[in-house]
Every structure is written in C-alpha cells, then in structure tokens.
Structure 1
Amino acid sequence: MAANMYRVGDYVFFENSSSNPYLIRRIEELNKTASGNVEAKVVCFYRRRDISHSLIQLADKHAKDLEEEKEEEKESPLEAELTDKQKHQLRHRELFLSRQYESLPATHIRGKCSVALLNETEAVLSYLDKEDTFFYSLVYDPTQKTLLADKGEIRVGPRFQADVPDMLQEGESDEWDQSKLEEKLWDPDCPLSSKQIDQFLVVARAVGTFARALDCSSSVRQPSLHTSAAAASRDITLFHAMDTLHRHGYDLSSALSVLVPSGGPVLCRDEMEEWSASEAAMFEEALEKYGKDFNDIRQDFLPWKSLTSIIEYYYMWKTTDRYVQQKRLKAAEAESKLKQVYIPTYNKPNPNQISVTNGKMATVNGAGPGAYHAAGGGRACESCYSMQSAQWYSWGPPNMQCRLCVSCWMYWKKYGGLKMPSRAEAPEEKTPPSPVPNEPRSRGHGPRQSSHMVPVRNSGSPKSSTKTKQAFLLQATRLTKLARHMCRDVIRLRRAARRPFVPINCGAIKAECKSSFNS
C-alpha cells in the first residue's frame, strides 16, 4: 500500500512509450482536473542519451576534473579502479537536472526511485549498489542547450578552507594594511543621549516626508501621505541621519543644517522606491520561476539591474504587505491541492512482449527446460546472452529481430541502456557485443556468422544525424578479405555483403583455399 502511495517531493518513473526507457521526474504538485483525473506537475531530469554529443563530452570533462580533484585531496589509499562494465553502468545512473516543468497524468507513474546530488566524499560505487538510485551534478537547459554546475555543490576539501597566516615570531611586528581595515560609522559612547538621538531621527523622517511631497516622481508613486511617511521611515533614511550625526561630531545644530541644505531637503530613496511597478511584477514572476537564484533572475528578467540591487530589493519586498498576501494565497492554494495519490501497480502486458507459443514450456536451441520458446528465432538476449527467460521482449529496430530477457528489459526501462557484460561473461560461440553498447547488434543464424562480417555503427557518417534509422558499415574480417581474392568462383562477396543474415558456406571456402594452396 505504501509503495503505491505517491507524494509531493517523490522521485518517480514515468512511462511515455512502451519501447523507450522510463522518464525520471520529481513530483512538485498533484492537481485534480475537472474531469476527476489527477495530473502531476513534475521537474524534468534528463539522461545522457537525451542530450547532444558535445554536451556529453563536456559532462565527461567535468566528471574527470572532479575525479582528479578528489584523488589529489585523498589522504587514504586510492580506491580500486573501476572496471569498464562499472563505468558503463555508472553512465546509466547519471542524470541532468533541469528547470523545466511539465504536467503528466499520474496514471503513467511506474514506481519510485531515488535521485541525489553527487556527493564528492562518497564512493561512486555506492550508487551501483542500490537499486533505482541515480545521481546528478550538472543542470541542463533544454532551451539554451547548455550544461552548468549545480549551485548546491557540497564544498568539502582543502580548496574551500580559509588560508590561515603563519604565526608571528617573537619580536616580529605586524604591519596592518590600512586600506583593509574597517571604517567606524557610529560611536556608541557619543555625548548625545538616547532621547536626543530619537528626536533627531524624527526630524530626519519629517524632512524625508516633506522631500517626497516636493518631488514629482515620488508623489506619483506614493500619492498618499501615509505611504510617503512609511517610505521616509525606512532604513535608508535612518542610515543617512545617523551617518550625518557621526560625520559632524554628534553636533545637532550642524547635522540639522545638513538635512536641509540651501537647495532643498535631502531625499534618500531605497530600492523599493527606485523600482517601477512593472519591474516589481517582473521580479515576482522571476522569483516564482527560479526561487532565490538571483543570478538567473538578473540574467533572464532584469539585466539592467545590478545583483546588489536585486538582492536588496528582495529583502525589502519580504517586509511588504504584498508579500504577506501572496504567502497567504499560496498557503490557501496548497491546502486545496492533493498531498498524495494512490496509483495501483501497473500490470497490463507490454506491446513489446513476445507472445509465448501455446503457453507451454519448450526448449530454445537446446537450452534445456525452463525456457519459453517464443517468436524471434531462439536468439539469445542482446545484453546478457542468456538463452533462458520467463518472458522475452522485442528490442531495437524491427528488421534487426533483437530481443531482451526479463531482467535486461527492466534494466533497459529503468536505466536507459544495456548492462554490457564483460567478454569473459559472454559465451564463446556468441557474437561479441556491439562497439556501441546501447545500440542493437546484427547477427545471423548460422554458427559461423561471426567469421563473415561484423556490423559496426557508422557514427562518423555526415548524414547519420539526419537519418531516422541507424547507419551501419560492414567491417570485413581477415577470413573475408582472404576469401575475396581466392574464392571468387565459390562465393560472390558483394551479394553476400548485402545479405548479412544469410550464412556463408565456410566449408566450400576452406576447400577452395586448400586446393589453391596445394596448387
């Protein structure tokens, strides 16, 4: 029951296609539509297979730099080096956070998972030891097609520590840099009493209110006396008054004359008054989208404002009635939203599932009891090379006739790739795995097919990025090259190359080669 209960903040698998891997999302809201269905507003995470090759290279460089820094900072012996298989499977666990939101039907949820920010102090193999566990360290912008480091990086290590100066030796003098010393702005032991200071501050507020009444732009923004008086009572006016007192040696008569010079009363305005109504609305919209990410707010919404101005405005805005009203409105909206939703376990058959012949147990190419004989010609699993499985699933392009066993199919759906077993784990008579582990391989039915031609993905083709189908080249083995020159009468190599699934009569080739050598 608890496993099928999904709440706000959960990381979940979503299925948008029966043949593609699951989407990984974080639930932000659960809303009930007018038709009675539940929709989930989610944050999108992307896999390596979802972003461009150039960004993948950037992510690999970032990971390499982190690993080098980690190795430099280690005081303990180095960890065991990762095998090729572990490195391959770790790539399936890496995600990229995005700021993109989307709404998906809650009925498409297929289970829970765990996503964490990459912990630089934790062994990376810990992510492989846990089921349905993923990590991320970079933020992907699908609009700008960029990768940036997440701002939540854990700053651990010597490079984040303060540099402590060496202790002075006995008799050694410490020469201070006067430019780095702080400036005194107020003397708590000044000759004025608290009552006199308060009276001066009241005069400063009154001057500020009068100055706003004389200023045309201020009278438009604060048309009422109450708002002008409230603006004149903010910190900017008090800071100016106290600075004036300090600069004039706490002489009240001298300080009062500065508040109202010959040109008119001094008007001090802070960010709340400097910003227009449209700028304030844009700030609130940006804050709703990015949160307190002030750099992004400035870059995308308010580039003409300085970062200091935006931060100062934010903390002043939090003291306004508008902020309180918005907070109450959000609280009311949160009360009306769903806190959790129950989604039954999805048990409908997958369209990619290969039907079982007569529903009976049978052997597959002599694999022994316990294996179903299903459509697909009795081919082994494309990932683990197993010949036995309770159920098979078609995988890859239809013309390739590839299939996966149950465990590898679930791995593909959850992690977006194949396990890629090591060469020692694969049976010797099977065709070696494809150079691109995530792509289907092309194999024939004959036992000697591997001596014919090995299919290799042509990733360097200039048109491969625009084609909808995968492009392959056929790389000839040594036996094929030799047969091309010596056995022209026995086999036509051009015709055989166009039909890679048809076995070649290797016996006739060997006999022809033997007779050629003897002659």
Structure 2
Amino acid sequence: MAANMYRVGDYVFFENSSSNPYLIRRIEELNKTASGNVEAKVVCFYRRRDISQSLIQLADKHAKDLEEEKESPSEPELSEKQKHQLRHRELFLSRQYESLPATHIRGKCSVALLNETEAVLSYLEKEDTFFYSLVYDPTQKTLLADKGEIRVGPRFQADVPEMLQEGEPDDRDQSKLEMKMWDPECPLTNKQIDQFLVVARAVGTFARALDCSSSVRQPSLHMSAAAASRDITLFHAMDTLHRHGYDLSSALSVLVPQGGPVLCRDEMEEWSSSEANLFEEALEKYGKDFNDIRQDFLPWKSLTSIIEYYYMWKTTDRYVQQKRLKAAEAESKLKQVYIPTYNKPNPNQISVSNGKMATVNGAASTGSFHTAGGGRACESCFGVQSAQWYSWGPPNMQCRLCVSCWMYWKKYGGLKMPSRAEGAEEKTPPSPAPNELRSRGHGARQSSHMVPMRNSGSPKSSMKTKQAFLLQATRLTKLARHMCRDLIRLRRAARRPFVPINCGAIKAECKSSLNS
C-alpha cells in the first residue's frame, strides 16, 4: 500500500513509451482535472542520453575537475563496467515543469545532489538511486553547477586593522568611511527625543490635512495619523535632529519652514491603487523577479521603488489576506495519490514458438524459462535463458533483452555491459565538421547505449573527402636551407614544433651571404 502511495516531493518513474526508458521526475503538485483524473505537475530531470555530445563532454570535464579538487582521493579505481553503469546514474536537473497523467507513474526512485564526501560506489550499491550536480537548460542548451561557493579571500572578507592604542592617531581617510547618521551619546534624554518624535508625527498629520491629494487617499483623521506615524516621518525627524546638532528649537523650526509643514511620504503612499493592483498581478505571475515585474508591468517605476514597496506591502492586511487564501488553496489540493501496480502486458514482450520469434500480448509465466531462438542471446548480458524476452532496438535487427536487462534499460536508460562502440564514441573528436555534426551526434548517442544502427550504404557516403594540398617552396627558401644550416638546425626544430623559428634572422643571413 505504502509503495503505491505517491506524495508531493517524491521522485518517480514516468512511462511515456513502451520501448523507451522511463522519465525521471519530481512531483511538485497533484491536481484533479474536470474529468476526475489526477495530473501531476513535475520537475524534469534529463539523462546523459537526452543531451548533446558537446554538453556531455562539458559534464565529464566538470566531473574531472571535481575529482582533481579532492584533497585525499582514497576511493578505489573503478572498473570499466562500474564507470559505464555510473554514467547511467547521472542526471541533470532542469527548471522545466510539465504536467503528466498520474496513471503513468511506474514506481519511486531517489535523486540526490552529488555529495563529494560520499563514495561514488554507494550510488551503484543502491537500487533506483541517481545523482546530479549540474542544471540543464533545454531552451538555452547550457549546463550550470547547482551549488553555491564559499567566498573566502580578500575579495570577500574585510581586512580588520589592529586596534588603536590610547592616544594613537587614526590615519585612515575619513572621507572613505561611513557617514554617521545618529549619535547614541547625544546630549538629549530619551524623553526629549520621544517628545520631538510626537511633534514630528503631529506636523505630518497636519501636512496631510493641507495636502489635497493626501486628503483624497486618507479621507479620515485616523488614516492620516497612521500614515504620519510611518518610519519615513521618524527617520526624517531623527535626521533633522542630527543635522542641527541635537538642538530642539533649531530642529523644530526646520520641521515647519516658511512655506508650510514638511510632508514625508514613502512608497506605500506614493503608489496609486491601480499601480498596487498591477503590482499584485505581476507578483502572482513572476514571483519576486523584480526585473521582469518592472519590465512588463511597471516600467515607469525604478527598481529601488518596486523593491521598497514590496517589503512595505508585506506588512499590510492585503498581504495577510492573500497569504491565508493561498494557504487555504494549498490545503484543498491533493497531498497524495494511490496508483495501483501497473501489470498490463508490454507490447515489446516476445515468446518463442517452434524456434521462431512471435510478438504476444500476454505475459509469460515467471516460473518457466525460455531459450532464445535463432541463436540470438540477450544484447546486454548475453544470457540465453530468461522468463520473458523483450524486443529491443529497430525491428529489422531482431535484438532482444532478458527480463533483468529490460528492467535495467527502462530504469537507467542503458545496457548493463559496456560495448566497444561506447569506447569509440568517447574518442570522437570534440569538434566535428559542420556537415557531419547532425549525423555523428545521432550516431554517437545510439552507439553509447548500444542501440543497433542500420547501415545506410557504402562507407564512402558517410566519410568526408579530404582536400589535398601541395606546399611548394621558393628558390630563396631552398637556398636558405643549405646556406643557414647553423641557424635553422632542422632536426632540433622538428623536435620542438611549438617553438617558432626566427625567419627574420635567417632571411638577413641569407641575403648577406648572397651579396658577399
């Protein structure tokens, strides 16, 4: 019962084709459709076989760099078979979401971020266990590391100077230091400061009563007083005190200048109701991606203004109401779903009848073993007996897998044993010719998973003709070879192909010899 219960956050196998390997996904949401079926919103994970050859080489380089960074590589050397099977356990996380029917779930698995302190063999010892270390972007076709870095060094840490002794002068450039905004040792008492802040709030309330736009936004005295008590008014009052040397009479005269009382507004007051509605709509669509919010919804607002408004908006009743609604909506969503074990026959099942292969729809008995007919063994383990056989690869090749290797293929996307084709694929040059890129990439992906490929014709059709060329030396060059042997030293230059030859000196020596 528990094995068939799938919850939000589980890593699961999805089947989208009877012959292809399972998809590996993480359940984010379980939603009930109008027809009563359950759909799962899932995060996509990709296998090595799903990405291009150039990105696979990039992933291998990243793994090699991680291996070199280890201080004490005490792990035993892996065999070729273990390396081959370890590649099948590697996945690539993506930020891509998709919705799939919950009935296509075929079991649970485990996916974890690669732990550098854990032995890689531990992933092979556990069934249905995978790891990832890179994030794949299927749109941009890029791979990025999915972890932060510890920022240590002079670029990230401040150099703390030695503590000054009593009477020792401070030689630092004061203009480069922080600006003091408030002196905690000011001559005013706490009571005097509180009284000044009360006066500042009263001036702010009076200023809003005189301002026409504020009287429309805050029609009542209670709302005006609440707006005047916000932090922007208190910050202005304390800054005024500091700038006037904590002289109360001088600071009070600044609060009420010749033209009328000072009115201080923050972003919560500056924004109109229509702008607030636009912001909430954008926040629902983009989340806290303030750059996209500004670009698509509020281009006339600065990024600083949007961020400041966001944190003020989180203190309002409107935010509290939306948070409660979202919590109630999340509570009403499905938390888990029961999917019975899938036991329908696979169309790829085959049986042996009179030594000939025949496709059947019924499952074979698990207690009996069938010998592969026609002299063909399992393409993975090369066994000749199995409780059930499955056709694999192109139909014309008539390849087959035993039960164990078929389940390995479905779960891990490859065959158990490495092949010579895979070794040849690893030696493929990283930069093929442009007109070979498409065909070679497809062939490499097939050969790396031992999928038989059909011969498309003669070898000449699949090979690129090389362009012949002739290097013809001039007479002066031929003469220089004989006249300047002490400078050229051909044998020594041939052993050092990357050290340039001083052609200028050779040319000058040759001309002087010819003139003499």
TM-score (norm 1): 0.68
Q: Distance in 2 between matches of 1:197 and 1:267?
A: 20
Q: Distance in 2 between matches of 1:438 and 1:355?
A: 43
Q: Distance in 2 between matches of 1:386 and 1:122?
A: 34
- Contact kept? 2:46, 2:92, Cα under 8 Å: yes
Highest RCO, 1 vs 2 (Cα 8 Å, sep ≥ 6): 2
Pair 140,389 (structure 1): closer, same or farther in 2 beyond 3 Å: same
Deviation digits for residues 389-422 of structure 1, max 9, x if unmatched? 2222112222222222222221221122223337
Pair 246,341 (structure 1): closer, same or farther in 2 beyond 3 Å: same
Indicate the SS of the match to 1:208.
helix
Give, in angstroms, the shift of residue 329 of structure 1: 0.6
> Please, which runs of 5 or more residues in structure 1 have no aligned partner?
none
Pair 145,336 (structure 1): closer, same or farther in 2 beyond 3 Å: same
Q: Distance in 2 between matches of 1:289 and 1:247?
A: 44
Pair 194,119 (structure 1): closer, same or farther in 2 beyond 3 Å: same
- Contact kept? 1:362, 1:371, Cα under 8 Å: no
Pair 228,444 (structure 1): closer, same or farther in 2 beyond 3 Å: closer
Pair 517,410 (structure 1): closer, same or farther in 2 beyond 3 Å: farther
Give, in angstroms, the shift of residue 2 of structure 1: 1.2
The answer to whether residue 473 in structure 2 is matched with residue 504 in structure 1 is no
- Contact kept? 2:419, 2:450, Cα under 8 Å: no
Q: Distance in 2 between matches of 1:461 and 1:28?
A: 50
Pair 146,354 (structure 1): closer, same or farther in 2 beyond 3 Å: same
Q: Distance in 1 between matches of 2:15 and 2:436?
A: 21
Pair 274,48 (structure 1): closer, same or farther in 2 beyond 3 Å: farther
Give, in angstroms, the shift of residue 182 of structure 1: 4.0
Indicate the SS of the match to 2:56.
helix
Between stretches 13-22 and 361-370, larger displacement belongs to 361-370
Deviation digits for residues 228-252 of structure 1, max 9, x if unmatched? 5444433233222212211211112
- State the partner residue of 1:98: 94
Pair 319,27 (structure 1): closer, same or farther in 2 beyond 3 Å: same
Q: Distance in 1 between matches of 2:366 and 2:477?
A: 37
Indicate the SS of the match to 1:441.
helix
Pair 470,244 (structure 1): closer, same or farther in 2 beyond 3 Å: farther
Q: Distance in 2 between matches of 1:476 and 1:268?
A: 84
The answer to whether residue 514 in structure 2 is matched with residue 517 in structure 1 is yes
Give, in angstroms, the shift of residue 269 of structure 1: 3.9
Q: Distance in 2 between matches of 1:446 and 1:206?
A: 79
Between stretches 464-473 and 126-135, larger displacement belongs to 464-473
Pair 511,117 (structure 1): closer, same or farther in 2 beyond 3 Å: same
Deviation digits for residues 93-140 of structure 1, max 9, x if unmatched? 222323332222211111111122233333333323322122223333
Pair 33,517 (structure 1): closer, same or farther in 2 beyond 3 Å: farther
Larger Rg: 2
- Contact kept? 1:418, 1:438, Cα under 8 Å: no
- State the partner residue of 2:217: 221
Deviation digits for residues 73-106 of structure 1, max 9, x if unmatched? 5443553344444343333222232333222221
Q: Distance in 1 between matches of 2:496 and 2:408?
A: 32
Between stretches 102-111 and 456-465, larger displacement belongs to 456-465
Deviation digits for residues 149-178 of structure 1, max 9, x if unmatched? 335668899999888889999999996564
- Contact kept? 1:380, 1:387, Cα under 8 Å: yes
Pair 46,308 (structure 1): closer, same or farther in 2 beyond 3 Å: farther
Pair 42,423 (structure 1): closer, same or farther in 2 beyond 3 Å: closer
Task: Answer 1 or 2: which has greater helix percent.
Answer: 2
Pair 163,327 (structure 1): closer, same or farther in 2 beyond 3 Å: same
Pair 168,419 (structure 1): closer, same or farther in 2 beyond 3 Å: farther
- State the partner residue of 1:154: 150
Pair 134,277 (structure 1): closer, same or farther in 2 beyond 3 Å: farther
Deviation digits for residues 297-345 of structure 1, max 9, x if unmatched? 7788778877655554443232121211111111111221222221111
- Contact kept? 2:355, 2:373, Cα under 8 Å: no
Count of paired positions: 515
- State the partner residue of 1:293: 289
Pair 171,262 (structure 1): closer, same or farther in 2 beyond 3 Å: closer
Give, in angstroms, the shift of residue 254 of structure 1: 1.9
Map 1:75-86 → 2, pairs under 5 A: 75-86=71-82
Indicate the SS of the match to 1:24.
strand
The answer to whether residue 453 in structure 2 is matched with residue 429 in structure 1 is no
Indicate the SS of the match to 1:29.
strand
Indicate the SS of the match to 1:464.
helix
Between stretches 420-429 and 500-509, larger displacement belongs to 500-509
Deviation digits for residues 12-56 of structure 1, max 9, x if unmatched? 111121112212222222223333322222222222333344444
Pair 329,76 (structure 1): closer, same or farther in 2 beyond 3 Å: same
- Contact kept? 2:49, 2:445, Cα under 8 Å: no
Q: Distance in 1 between matches of 2:355 and 2:290?
A: 62
Q: Distance in 1 between matches of 2:195 and 2:213?
A: 28
Indicate the SS of the match to 1:445.
helix
Pair 475,365 (structure 1): closer, same or farther in 2 beyond 3 Å: farther
Between stretches 296-305 and 84-93, larger displacement belongs to 296-305
CA RMSD of aligned residues (A): 14.8
Give, in angstroms, the shift of residue 383 of structure 1: 2.2
Deviation digits for residues 439-493 of structure 1, max 9, x if unmatched? 9999999999999999889999999999999999999999999999999999999
Q: Distance in 1 between matches of 2:207 and 2:51?
A: 57
> Please, which runs of 5 or more residues in structure 2 have no aligned partner?
none
Indicate the SS of the match to 1:421.
coil
Deviation digits for residues 240-275 of structure 1, max 9, x if unmatched? 221221121111222233334445554444444455
Deviation digits for residues 268-293 of structure 1, max 9, x if unmatched? 44444455666655655565566556
Pair 109,49 (structure 1): closer, same or farther in 2 beyond 3 Å: same
Pair 328,302 (structure 1): closer, same or farther in 2 beyond 3 Å: same
Between stretches 444-453 and 32-41, larger displacement belongs to 444-453
- Contact kept? 2:22, 2:413, Cα under 8 Å: yes
